[in-house]
Structure 1
Amino acid sequence: MGMLALLHGASSSEVRLLQIAEVDHFAQRIRLGKRPHPVPLDPASWTVLQRCLAHRDAWPTENPHVLVTKGTKAGRSPASTAYLSHILDDCGFPPRVLRSTRLVDLVNTLDPKLVAASFGMDPQAALIYLADHVDEGRLPAL
């Protein structure tokens, strides 16, 4: 969860609803939420995902989701929202902070409309991540 949130801006719901069928092992990419294109994973994220899948394979489950908990292994439902909101408690940062960090960086470096389109977000949603100051180096010379 942490790697996907920090490096790929994945939301808790995108990770929670991620299913095995949405993992492309050949191209090393995944389908996240409403994003228009699959997300290619860097080597570190791919390794973490493979470890998660190996851990999951050790459980006898027919659940189609990547994240399976003790409570969901017997069924087909995704992990609970509460589970995902506390999954990173040991590191001291909630998933939404990691996602926000990534989105702030992208929105303030790139065009917010392009970021919104690539993340499957409403264009207005990306605007909340804009910083409240202007980088003098990005202003045109007068």
Structure 2
Amino acid sequence: MKLDKFDREILRVLQKDATISMADLSQKVGLSHTPCWRRVKKMEAEGLILAKVTILNSKKLNLGVSVFIYVTLKNHDGDSLTDFEKAVQDIDEIVECHTTSGEKDYLLKVIVESIEEYETLLKNKLTHLPLVDHLSSTFALKQVKNTTELPIKNA
């Protein structure tokens, strides 16, 4: 789907506030209500807009420990990768899983309440993931930037 300046602006506004009314959205982007609504619906149908979500404050929910874990697998065949990727889906504390280039195979982001909770997760679940050869954990000390917004460029 080719995006014009209105589409891009709609996406920028919705990233900041998915609860904005269609009337307010159309006013902010300079379109009338119906064309704006049609554009949003088209972007949803095309898969550009995946979901409208509520972003939670992890610290207020007592989930203030973020851990980044590099994972190296024993094998790199298709079944091994598939088995690992399926298994991480079942661990709620893993909030992100990325395949990576270089010496490590995956980068996981884990969010937990405490270091003790992470230790339990590590011993009981992470070390038992399929074909894990090595895990290397790094604890985030402070979050300097946090955004869910993608950098949508002008056309």
Relative to its length, the structure with more strand (as a share) is 2
Report TM bin, short chain: under 0.3
TM-score calculated relative to the size of structure 1? 0.26
Q: Which has the higher contact order (CA 8 A, sep 6+)?
A: 2
TM-score calculated relative to the size of structure 2? 0.25
Higher Cα Rg, which structure:
2
Relative to its length, the structure with more helix (as a share) is 1
